[in-house]
């Protein structure tokens, strides 16, 4: 058998890539992960309290973190913000909840970001959503990277995460579809399932990283669909249910203080890591069996979508393909519960300078006010730079020339996420960000 040119090319490139240093820029990003710190004023705004109130608590509460002092200013990390939230929220005198953890018996929410087209901001929207609900509500978030390209993983990984290593467990391992050609799912105990979640530098945010072996999942599922009775479209849904049986919430916010009223740091650390309040899935732009599992497992599906004509054509094929799959699935499992929550199209990377994009949004919204969000992501040049280092707008430290655009994009991200939260958790107290955006653009 002769070696073709292509095989020679692949061999050469494999040899070259083995020797090229791809780590330099990556290491720099990983080392400075969540380096951003938040001022007292910013922390007060995240908690929705007055700065004077927060300052008073910081003097009265012995467990209040010192933060870092720079000049007269004290700044806090996301972990310290979570602790402050727990301190205020567990205080018996608290007038409202600050730590919006789910209670025993409430199921974990699953929110999937998916679209047919690449480059519509799925990964960035998913990362922002996870960080927003963590910063603004204290939620414990599980991020599942369902993309072999592992984009959303790059927004969360630090040096402790062996990304792109062949034996780092991915979604395929979580679902038990890691052995192509196997007749049945790999059995994993709920404890083993919990161990697939990798901690991140964000407090209470865990990650199942993406990677090439997600593709093994598709091959495995394909063979199982031919040879066994595994319901190949609901493996992830069932796996999450199995994980949930033993890894649900155990500690309530009231239990974070002992009888003497003193804050119990150990109980807090345990509670912060004992479960997840929401699972966020970042999809690959396609409708493979693995991606179908991400949709079937979801309570809510968010479709980040650019508004150009050809891009909208991909939305048309995406929804019609999903429609066909759903019909097929209901054909042999009529009572399956799929997507009981709210679903929405999120316009992204909108160019507001010319009215083409916004006209398109208005038209879509008029036709489908329930399905299309009134809040969108505008195109920002701050994020192009942030994304060079794989930093979301919530952790990006802009150089002074980009401070204004970074601030504007953070306000934009807050508006989008406030709108998503209101649809996904109607019971959570809304913030004013989405209303302000709608007033400014539609008012
Ligand atoms: N609002 C925006 N403005 C400018 N660039 C954006 C915006 N949203 C995303 N991008 C950039 O577009 C590219 C694709 O985004 P990404 O979230 O990876 O999309 P997807 O996951 O849909 O492929 C990235 O380089 C990202 O930084
Ligand atoms: Mg992506």
Query: Which one of 387, 406, 416, 417 would you pick to mutate in the ligand 1 pocket, going by the greatest count of ligand atoms within 8 A of its CB?
Result: 387
How many Å apart are CA 172 and CA 166, to the nearest integer?
Answer: 12
* Helix or strand holding residue 113 (H, E): strand 109-113
Helical segments of 103-210, H only:
122-137, 151-156, 171-175, 190-196
Atom of ligand 1 nearest to the CA of 378: 1
Residue 108 CA to residue 123 CA, distance in Å, equals 21
Plot region of 397 (φ>0 → left; ψ -120 to 50 → alpha; else → beta): beta
Per-residue pLDDT for 388 more than 90?
A: no
Interval between CA 291 and ligand 2 midpoint (Å): 12
Residue 400 DSSP one-character state: G
With pLDDT > 70 as the criterion, what percentage of the chain qualifies? 97
Give the mean pLDDT of the chain.
Answer: 92
pLDDT confidence tier of residue 164, bands split at 50, 70 and 90: confident
Which tokens is 24 given?
């330099």
pLDDT at residue 144 is higher than 80 = yes
Ligand index nearest the alpha carbon of residue 125:
1
- Rounded Cα–Cα distance for residues 100 and 112 (Å): 21
pLDDT on residue 186 = 95
| pLDDT given for residue 247 in this prediction | 97
The 10s digit of each residue's pLDDT in 180-203 is: 989 999 999 999 999 999 999 999
Query: Which of 121, 280, 347 is the pocket-test mutation for ligand 1 (most atoms within 8 Å of CB)?
Result: 121
> Does the pLDDT value for residue 15 go beyond 80?
yes
Ligand nearest to the CA of 120: 1
Q: Which ligand is nearest to the CA of 311?
A: 1
Contact 224, 178 (CB under 8 A): no
CB atoms within 10 A of CB 252: 13
pLDDT band at 23 (very low <50, low <70, confident <90, very high): low
Query: What is the per-residue pLDDT for 5?
Result: 84
Number of H helices, E strands in the chain: 18, 10
What pLDDT is stored for residue 262 in this prediction? 93
Q: Residue 154 Cα, ligand 1 centroid: separation in angstroms? A: 13
Atom of ligand 1 nearest to the CA of 381: 4
CA of 383 to the centre of ligand 1 (A): 8
**pLDDT surpasses 80 at 28:** no
Q: Is the pLDDT of residue 159 over 60?
A: yes
DSSP 401: G
CA of 390 to the centre of ligand 1 (A): 11
Q: What are the phi and psi torsion angles at 143 (to 5°)?
A: -100, 125
Q: Note every long-range contact of 253-258, with CB atoms under 8 Å and residues 24 or more positions apart, other chains counting.
A: 253/86, 253/89, 253/90, 253/97, 253/99, 253/101, 254/90, 254/92, 256/86, 256/89, 256/90, 257/90, 257/91, 257/92
Atom number, ligand 1, closest to the C-alpha of residue 117: 22
**How far apart (Å, rounded) are the C-alpha atoms in residues 430 and 419?**
8
Of the listed ranges 26-30, 254-258, 325-329, the one predicted with least confidence: 26-30
Compute, in angstroms, the gap from residue 123 CA to the centroid of ligand 1.
Answer: 7
**Cβ neighbours around 393 below 10 Å, total:** 26
SS3 352: coil
Could you say which ligand is closest to the alpha carbon of residue 149?
Answer: 2
Condensed to tens digits (0 to 9), the pLDDT of residues 371-380 reads 999 999 999 9
CATH architecture of 100-442: 3-Layer(aba) Sandwich (3.40)
What local confidence, expressed as pLDDT, does residue 17 receive? 76
Ligand 1 probe mutation, 119, 129, 148, 282, most atoms within 8 A of CB: 119
Query: Candidates 124, 303, 405: which one to mutate for ligand 1, based on the most atoms within 8 Å of Cβ?
Result: 124
For ligand 1, the distance from its centroid to the CA atom of residue 8, given in whole angstroms, is: 34
At 179, the pLDDT band (50, 70, 90 cuts) reads very high
Q: For residue 330, is pLDDT > 80?
A: yes
284-288-289 Cα angle (round to 5): 120
At residue 252's C-alpha, the angle toward residues 126 and 33, to 5°, is 35
Higher pLDDT, 405 or 386: 405
Distance, CA 379 to ligand 1 centroid (Å)?
9
Query: Residue 187's closest CA among 200, 177, 195, 198?
Result: 177
**Shortest-distance ligand to the CA of residue 378:** 1
Lowest pLDDT segment from 34-38, 163-167, 226-230:
163-167
| CA–CA distance, 376 with 413 (Å, rounded to integer) | 9
Q: What is the pLDDT of residue 33?
A: 76
Question: How far is residue 134 from each of residues 82, 200, 228, 276, 278, measured CA to CA in Å?
Answer: 8, 12, 40, 11, 10
pLDDT of residue 22: 64
Q: DSSP assignment of 239-258, as one string?
A: HHHHHHHHSS----GGGGB-
Of ligand 1's listed atoms, the one at least distance from the Cα of 118 is 23
Pocket lined around ligand 1, Cβ cut-off 6 Å? 118-124, 151, 348-349, 377, 379-380, 383-384, 387
Tell me the CA distances in angstroms from 416 to 210, 347, 432, 438, one per residue in order.
Answer: 25, 10, 11, 10
Does the pLDDT value for residue 24 go beyond 70?
Answer: no
Contacts of residue 230, defined as CB under 8 A and 6 or more positions apart, other chains included, come to 184, 185, 221, 224
- pLDDT-based confidence at 21, cuts 50/70/90? low
Q: Provide the pLDDT confidence category of residue 1 given band limits of 50, 70 and 90.
A: low
**pLDDT at residue 122, rounded to an integer:** 97
Instruction: Determine the distance separating the centroid of ligand 2 and the alpha carbon of 351, expressed in angstroms.
Output: 20
- 163 C-alpha vs ligand 2 centroid, how far in Å? 16
Q: Look up residue 356 and give its two tokens.
A: 């083409």
380 CA: nearest ligand 1 atom: 3
pLDDT tens per residue, range 49-103: 999 999 999 999 999 999 999 888 899 999 999 999 999 999 988 889 999 999 9
The alpha-carbon radius of gyration of the chain (Å, integer) is 23
pLDDT of residue 382 exceeding 90: no
Average pLDDT over residues 314-325: 92
With H, G, I as helix, E, B as strand and everything else as coil, classify residue 39: strand
Report the distance separating Cα 235 and Cα 328, nearest Å.
16
36-40, 291-295, 309-313: which has the highest mean pLDDT?
A: 291-295
């Amino acid at each position: 058998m002769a070696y073709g040119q292509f095989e020679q090319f692949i061999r050469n490139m494999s040899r070259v890539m083995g020797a090229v240093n791809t780590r330099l820029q990556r290491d720099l990003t990983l080392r400075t992960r969540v380096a951003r710190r938040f001022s007292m004023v910013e922390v007060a705004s995240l908690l929705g309290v007055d700065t004077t109130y927060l300052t008073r608590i910081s003097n009265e509460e012995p467990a209040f973190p010192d933060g870092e002092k720079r000049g007269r200013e004290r700044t806090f990390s996301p972990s310290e913000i979570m602790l402050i939230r727990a301190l205020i929220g567990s205080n018996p005198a608290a007038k409202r909840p600050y730590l919006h953890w789910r209670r025993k018996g409430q199921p974990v929410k699953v929110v999937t970001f998916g679209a047919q087209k690449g480059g519509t901001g799925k990964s960035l929207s998913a990362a922002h959503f996870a960080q927003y609900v963590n910063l603004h509500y204290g939620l414990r978030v599980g991020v599942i990277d369902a993309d072999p390209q592992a984009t959303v993983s790059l927004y969360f990984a630090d040096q402790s995460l062996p990304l792109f290593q062949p034996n780092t467990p991915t979604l395929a391992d979580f679902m038990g579809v890691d052995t192509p050609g196997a007749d049945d799912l790999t059995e994993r105990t709920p404890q083993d399932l919990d161990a697939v979640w990798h901690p991140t530098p964000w407090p209470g945010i865990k990650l199942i990283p993406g990677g090439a072996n997600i593709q093994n999942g598709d091959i495995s599922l394909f063979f199982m669909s031919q040879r066994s009775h595994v319901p190949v479209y609901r493996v992830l849904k069932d796996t999450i249910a199995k994980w949930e049986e033993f890894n649900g919430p155990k500690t309530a916010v009231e239990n974070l203080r002992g009888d003497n009223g003193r804050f119990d740091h150990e109980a807090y650390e345990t509670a912060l890591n004992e479960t997840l309040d929401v699972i966020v899935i970042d999809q690959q732009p396609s409708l493979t069996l693995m991606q179908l599992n991400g949709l079937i497992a979801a309570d809510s599906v968010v479709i980040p979508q650019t508004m150009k004509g050809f891009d909208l054509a991909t939305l048309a094929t995406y929804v019609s393909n999903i429609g066909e799959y759903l019909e097929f699935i209901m054909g042999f499992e009529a009572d399956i519960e799929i997507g009981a929550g709210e679903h929405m199209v999120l316009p992204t990377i909108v160019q507001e300078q010319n009215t083409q994009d916004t006209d398109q949004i208005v038209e879509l919204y008029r036709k489908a006010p329930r399905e299309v969000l009134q809040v969108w992501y505008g195109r920002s040049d701050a994020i192009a730079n942030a994304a060079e280092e794989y930093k979301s707008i919530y952790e990006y430290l802009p150089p002074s020339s980009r401070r204004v655009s970074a601030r504007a994009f953070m306000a934009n991200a807050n508006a989008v996420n406030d709108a998503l939260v209101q649809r996904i958790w109607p019971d959570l107290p809304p913030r004013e960000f989405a209303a302000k955006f709608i007033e400014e653009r539609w008012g």
